[in-house]
Amino acid sequence: MRQKLNGASTGGIQAGEVALSILTRIFGGKSGREAFRPLFAEVVATGRDPAWYKEGGVPDTLDGRFDMIAAVLALVLLRLERDGSASAEASVLLTELFIDDMEGSVRQMGIGDLMVGKHVGRMIGALGGRLAAFREASAEGRGFEAAVRRNVFHEAPPSEAALGFVSRRLEALSEALGRQSSAALLAGKVPRL
């Protein structure tokens, strides 16, 4: 049975569904992001790999885990960037998942509503800094040591061995991502090290 909503036929769709559909079209919905949740989960799993913290000496703290997840995400985004416009939407949606996750984490830490945006903004800036540092190092054919020293260890690595371990491992991940097909990556397959 067809229903009328303000005189228009809705084909049996409820008024709330019509309103939601219109709002989703205007403001965009989260449904597009869901396709990239497996990839984001793999980014997080790779960033949380215990080797970063044990052998690499990255502090196993909220900040240390953020540093590693952001570093891995930056490498994945740089790999997607190589595809140009073909993966642009995927990069945006993956970044939105990161933002949602970071916002949730900040709220769980008890940060009030008035400060959430400021904290998340700093985190997005940190991601942008990693993107720039790894992009520059890759373009110049340099290793990631300077970028890791600055962006993971904040100029204070626990040892040169730890710095070397994390740098080489991120370089290996970057190289493996470079060999990964776009389809496999977008399906959530992040190379294992």
Going by pLDDT thresholds of 50, 70 and 90, the confidence category of residue 149 is very high
* 117 or 162, greater pLDDT: 162
pLDDT at 188 over 90: yes
> What type of residue is 81?
E
- pLDDT value at position 69? 96
What values do phi and psi take at 8, rounded to 5? -105, 145
The total of other beta-carbon atoms located within 10 Å of residue 59's CB is 16
- pLDDT value at position 168? 98
Nearest to 167 by CA among 65, 58, 89, 49: 58
Distance from CA of residue 119 to its chain's centroid? 16
Q: What is the reported pTM?
A: 0.81
* 77 or 112, greater pLDDT: 77
- pLDDT value at position 23? 45
What are the Cα distances from residue 71, in Å, to 20, 78, 106? 36, 11, 19
Nearest to 52 by CA among 126, 163, 136: 163
What are the Cα distances from residue 105, in Å, to 43, 74, 91, 92, 108? 16, 19, 21, 20, 5
Neighbour-count burial of 180, counting CB atoms closer than 10 A to its CB (0-12 exposed, 13-18 middle, 19+ buried): middle
The pLDDT tens digits for 54-104 are 999 999 998 999 999 999 999 999 999 999 999 999 999 999 999 998 887
- pLDDT value at position 28? 52
Q: Which range among 69-78, 103-112, 159-168, 182-191 shows the weakest confidence by mean pLDDT?
A: 103-112
